[in-house]
Amino acid sequence: MTVLKVSAQSNPKSVAGALASVVREQGTAEMQAIGAGAVNQSMKAIAIARGYLAPAGVNLIAIPAFVEVEIDGQEKTAIHFRVEPR
């Protein structure tokens, strides 16, 4: 499964479009964010994607979890969102 990586500079509408597309095609999606700004953009994208999918009768939920990722040889804590229809 593809993991959408979100940064603090990500455009929430663009991420929402990608998120909605993945949910339509695969049924669920996963997102990963490191830092407060990236988590903020992720939550905005999830809210926007809910609006994109609501007319089709799809109600999205997001399940957050902490994960450890390695970036440039350093371990960092990220927030991982599993997004799926209810």
Q: pLDDT over 70 for what percent of the chain? A: 100
What is d(CA 60, CA 73) in angstroms, rounded to the nearest whole number?
A: 35
Helical ranges in the chain per DSSP H: 12-26, 36-53
Q: How far does the chain reach from its first CA to its final CA, in angstroms? A: 19
- The CATH number of residue 74's host domain is 3.30.110.20
pTM of this structure? 0.92
Domain extent at residue 37:
3-85
Which of 43, 37, 55, 39 is closest to 19 using CA atoms? 43
Q: How many domains are contained in the chain?
A: 1
pLDDT tens track for 7-49? 999 999 999 999 999 999 999 999 999 999 999 999 999 999 9
2 pLDDT band (50/70/90 cuts)?
confident
